[in-house]
Structure 1
Amino acid sequence: MRLLQSSTLAFGLATTAKLVEAQAQFLVNELSFGYTGRINDRGQATVPGFSIQGTPDVPEVLSNKIILTPPHPGNTRGAIWADQQNKYQTWVADVDFRVNGPERGSGNLNIWLARRGNQEIGSSSVYTVNRFDGLALVIDQHGGSGGMIRGFLNDGSTDFKAHQSVDSLAFGHCNYPYRNLGRPSQIKLRQTHQVFKVEVDGHLCFESDKITIPPGYFFGITAAAGDNPDSFEIFKMVTMTENLDAKHDAPSQQQGQPIQNQAQAQTSYGRKANQNNGNNNGNSNGNSDDPFDDYIPDANADAITSSKAQFADLHNRIQSTNHHLSSIFRQVAGLNNIGEKRHEETSKAIHDVKQLLYKLDRLDSLQNEISKLQRDLRDMRSDINLKVKDSEHAVKSFIGTNHGNMLEHVAVQAAPRHGKLIFVIIGSQILIVAAYIYYERKKTLPKKYL
């Protein structure tokens, strides 16, 4: 029965969370553009409520998009910043963008929510900005990937331009191949009372329940292109909130300090231990880079003199313990997902190895067949040599036997015969002599006259 009650309670909480998330959203006109399909309804090359700047030229504003960096030339920068602050605690910001470029194009797109906005960031990227207070969402090809979306936080104490490893400051990321899709991509930033989310094309990229961006920060979009440039195009930026009347003034520096500490703790999450440079010295004063540090200083029991102070101290420590448990549960869930992924990769690798071993077995059988073929070829060669020798011996024997008879036959049959020639010559001479004698005798006979 307890299990049924807990399941019903979990389902109710999940349903309530979805209903809360699905509450009606209202458009914030002064922080939006392009929601009608046109950047400027008056046909002007400006964006109402936003300032545009760029290097070396100002970005081109077309009827339905803004080209922050053109496809030519390279090493260009462009930026668009809201003129008014975001004065809402809960909000949703949609940015539609498209990136086109050559095969090895380079560049990055940065979506900002910063306290001083254009004054301290301008057209800089997360790699060239100095100190800023706020959120930066970077879209680039980090680490040679096909595309990645990463989130960065800063409370103004970290100089990103001078930092040795800016990439290690990211608190969340997801892979997203954004280049040359032929269609706009949608990035959605969602801030509620419980969680901060980043979604891309309707799918969750990353989220955190430890981030709360206070009111009074400026929205902005900057883009930077390299030598082989990508063209970054912005189609719209739409900001919505649940209650247009629930505006809040920008908090003072003292009021915003707890959120800044929270942002700094989230930024510090995942840094290497050697970045502390040994400055902690074992103190638990809230300056540690440990993500599970509760930032509650140790107190002497004698200092708690009232039940109210005791309850407050106990409440704070229980709350901190709950935060730690939530962080541990998230870490365990993440490790479980990583373990499953590693298991799948290992299973796939084992399958590939089995396939290779099967191919090696086939190679052994093929090698045996080749060896058998070699033996057959050697036997065939021996047989051919033997046959050739037998044929040669037979030919020699036949020629040696018949050669003498052939010579004798030629000598007998082809020898010249002179008897007939002599008979013909002598006979012809006799006939000539007889004819001559007959002629002479006939000439000397007496003539008879009639």
Structure 2
Amino acid sequence: MHLNSRTLKAIAWSTLALSTANAQYIIDNLSFGQKAGEPISPNLRGIPHYSAKGLGWDIEILSDRAVLTPPWPGNKRGALWSEDPLHHAGDWNAELHFRAAGMDRGGGNLQLWYTKESQKNEPPASLYTAPKFDGLVLVVDQYEGRGGSVRGFLNGGDIDFKVHHDLDQLAFGQCNYAYRNLGRFSVLKMSQANGKFDVTVDGNPCFSTDKVRLPAGYHFGISASSAENPDSFEVQKFLVSTTNAHTREEPGSHQNQAAQNPNQQQQQQQQQQQGQTQQQNVQPPPRVHGNWLQRTQEQNKPLDPNIPQMVEDVFAANIKSQQDQFGDLHNRLQILNHKIDGLYDLLEKVIADNDQRFDQLMGRITPMHDQISATMRNVEKVERTTMETLRDLESKDFKDLLNSVHRSIERGQSAMSANIPAAISDIVDKGRPSMTSFFFVVVVVQVLVLCAYQLYKKRRNSAPKKYL
């Protein structure tokens, strides 16, 4: 069977369409932190393709995250603004990984901007201090004391948010989300696809509308502000992706594509139409490595060293011959299959690790559940005993007992009052001395004193006399 060049091209395009129908491509010059294990800044002084600016302090850029507002002191601001705009008018996604931490009553807000004019030369602003802008802003703050919320605002450049009398009523969508002190990074994602604009938080739907369609040519920005009791806002990564296969937007590339020869554009359109017509009659070839669930042994074979492991990005207009186009497409399809196989292996490993962790966690939870049950039973016993004692105290009357105790005390007091004087009188009568004994003692004392005096005089008279 002979296949001409057009048939081969149609087969290649069909295979590419089936393989990359749901693929997302990261736009490198609008993203940072997309490569795991690599620092977001090569010199820890700035993020490539982004302008960093702080108000009251300098933004701290670490190897894996950027600190927009410090944990202390408060009333600080910080912002990151993309140098280049988004040139894709079709479907795209913007994903922000952020974290907020602070004291119990800390405050502040975080904004994700998509505006026509970049504010990189302006002081970092929040929703309530921003000048007139044309675009969208998603605000994360503690609106109305709900513990956290995500709200979306649109402005056509004719509303001054700083002086608006009731700014909170302008939100076209909102949801509650407690974002503070989670200990992990939250994921705020906005996407435009299939005529709808969706906002999700940690993979959960926040709000959605089909009345918003954001144009191309706008800039992304991330800003944060802290209150007097501050919250520290940190940004780990910001990913902008699209279904377009261009993973990098070169400066001036869109102008160069628009300036192509009109005849060349017509030829390309005719070739695409012919390829689409032939796709209807050509069946796509079978996959080399089988489906996702049943993998063959071919995947475990060593890779051919002649097969390239990575292909640089080039413009389609730079590939002239059909043979080069087919070779480039073939190499990219092989690389895509290898990447999918690697992702499948990684997914299997993650699932196995999660199962092991789940088993370990369940093994720890079971003894804890038994201990908790025993503690609950002891608490129930104490409560039951307490209720029985309280019920006994409330049901019995202690009036008679108190009266009996009172009478006993009165009887004891009366007996003591009657017996104590008689006992003291008896003791005094029995223990006092008689008058005879008293007089005898007095006479004896006087006789002894007289004898002592006589003895003294006798010794004095018998002593020798001394004359002067």
Could you tell me the TM-score, scaled by structure 1's length? Answer: 0.53
1:41-90 CA deviation, whole Å, 9 max, x = no partner? 64352222212222134422222211212223322211111122112221
Secondary structure of 2:78 counterpart? strand
**How is 1:11-50 mapped onto 2 (pairs within 5 angstroms)?**
23-37=22-36, 38-40=38-40, 42-43=42-43, 45-50=45-50
Q: Report the equivalent of 2:401.
A: 380
Q: Cα–Cα, structure 1 residues 241 and 379, in superposed 2: closer, same or farther, change >3 Å?
A: same
Maintained 8 Å contact 1:35/1:237:
yes
Cα offset, 1:117, TM superposition: 2.6
**How is 1:260-275 mapped onto 2 (pairs within 5 angstroms)?**
none
Q: Cα–Cα, structure 1 residues 397 and 78, in superposed 2: closer, same or farther, change >3 Å?
A: closer
**How is 1:15-414 mapped onto 2 (pairs within 5 angstroms)?**
23-37=22-36, 38-40=38-40, 42-43=42-43, 45-88=45-88, 89-118=90-119, 123-244=124-245, 370=394, 372-373=396-397, 376=398, 378-387=399-408
Q: Cα–Cα, structure 1 residues 161 and 39, in superposed 2: closer, same or farther, change >3 Å?
A: farther
Cα offset, 1:238, TM superposition: 0.6
Distance 2:190 2:222 in 1: 13
Q: Cα–Cα, structure 1 residues 225 and 386, in superposed 2: closer, same or farther, change >3 Å?
A: closer
Q: Cα–Cα, structure 1 residues 57 and 380, in superposed 2: closer, same or farther, change >3 Å?
A: closer
Q: Cα–Cα, structure 1 residues 60 and 390, in superposed 2: closer, same or farther, change >3 Å?
A: closer
Q: Report the equivalent of 2:378.
A: none
Secondary structure of 1:118 counterpart? coil
Distance 2:31 2:212 in 1: 23
Q: Report the equivalent of 1:280.
A: none
Maintained 8 Å contact 1:98/1:232:
yes
Cα offset, 1:400, TM superposition: 12
Distance 2:138 2:160 in 1: 17
Maintained 8 Å contact 2:81/2:120:
no
Q: Cα–Cα, structure 1 residues 122 and 217, in superposed 2: closer, same or farther, change >3 Å?
A: farther
1:388-429 CA deviation, whole Å, 9 max, x = no partner? 566778899999999xxx99xx8xxx9999xxxxxxxxxxxx
- Which amino acid counterpart does residue 84 of structure 2 have in structure 1? Q
Q: Cα–Cα, structure 1 residues 70 and 379, in superposed 2: closer, same or farther, change >3 Å?
A: same
Distance 1:115 1:151 in 2: 16
Maintained 8 Å contact 1:33/1:39:
no
Q: Report the equivalent of 1:265.
A: none
- Which amino acid counterpart does residue 233 of structure 2 have in structure 1? F
Question: What CA RMSD, in Å, does the superposition of the two structures yield over aligned residues?
Answer: 4.2
Cα offset, 1:249, TM superposition: 8.2
Q: Report the equivalent of 2:318.
A: none
Distance 1:368 1:205 in 2: 57
Q: Cα–Cα, structure 1 residues 395 and 54, in superposed 2: closer, same or farther, change >3 Å?
A: closer
Maintained 8 Å contact 2:82/2:220:
yes
Q: Cα–Cα, structure 1 residues 209 and 387, in superposed 2: closer, same or farther, change >3 Å?
A: same
Maintained 8 Å contact 1:46/1:61:
yes
Cα offset, 1:116, TM superposition: 1.3
Maintained 8 Å contact 1:28/1:244:
no
Distance 2:50 2:99 in 1: 20
1:145-174 CA deviation, whole Å, 9 max, x = no partner? 322211111122221100122222222222
Q: Cα–Cα, structure 1 residues 237 and 415, in superposed 2: closer, same or farther, change >3 Å?
A: closer
Maintained 8 Å contact 1:98/1:183:
yes
Distance 1:75 1:143 in 2: 20
- Which amino acid counterpart does residue 230 of structure 1 have in structure 2? D
- Which amino acid counterpart does residue 48 of structure 2 have in structure 1? P
1:320-369 CA deviation, whole Å, 9 max, x = no partner? xxxxxxxxxxxxxxxxxxxxxxxxxxxxxxxxxxxxxxxxxx99x96995
Secondary structure of 1:80 counterpart? strand
> What 5-or-longer segments of structure 1 have no aligned partner?
1-18, 251-361, 418-450
Cα offset, 1:96, TM superposition: 0.9
- Which amino acid counterpart does residue 237 of structure 1 have in structure 2? F
- Which amino acid counterpart does residue 379 of structure 1 have in structure 2? D
> What 5-or-longer segments of structure 2 have no aligned partner?
1-17, 256-385, 437-468
Maintained 8 Å contact 2:51/2:120:
no
- Which amino acid counterpart does residue 61 of structure 1 have in structure 2? I
Pairs aligned (count): 283
Distance 1:162 1:228 in 2: 24
- Which amino acid counterpart does residue 383 of structure 1 have in structure 2? S
Maintained 8 Å contact 1:94/1:239:
yes
Maintained 8 Å contact 2:115/2:219:
yes
Distance 1:220 1:382 in 2: 85
Maintained 8 Å contact 1:98/1:184:
yes
Could you tell me the TM-score, scaled by structure 2's length? Answer: 0.51
- Which amino acid counterpart does residue 157 of structure 2 have in structure 1? G
User: Highest relative contact order (Cα 8 Å, sep 6+), 1 or 2?
Assistant: 2
Q: Report the equivalent of 1:345.
A: none
- Which amino acid counterpart does residue 25 of structure 2 have in structure 1? F
Distance 1:161 1:227 in 2: 20
Maintained 8 Å contact 1:92/1:241:
yes
Q: Report the equivalent of 2:374.
A: none
- Which amino acid counterpart does residue 115 of structure 2 have in structure 1? A
Q: Report the equivalent of 2:340.
A: none
Distance 1:192 1:226 in 2: 36
Q: Cα–Cα, structure 1 residues 129 and 366, in superposed 2: closer, same or farther, change >3 Å?
A: same
Secondary structure of 1:69 counterpart? coil
Distance 2:101 2:185 in 1: 10
- Which amino acid counterpart does residue 67 of structure 2 have in structure 1? I
- Which amino acid counterpart does residue 143 of structure 2 have in structure 1? H
Distance 1:396 1:124 in 2: 92
Maintained 8 Å contact 1:50/1:82:
yes
Distance 2:32 2:413 in 1: 101
Q: Cα–Cα, structure 1 residues 381 and 229, in superposed 2: closer, same or farther, change >3 Å?
A: closer
- Which amino acid counterpart does residue 212 of structure 1 have in structure 2? R
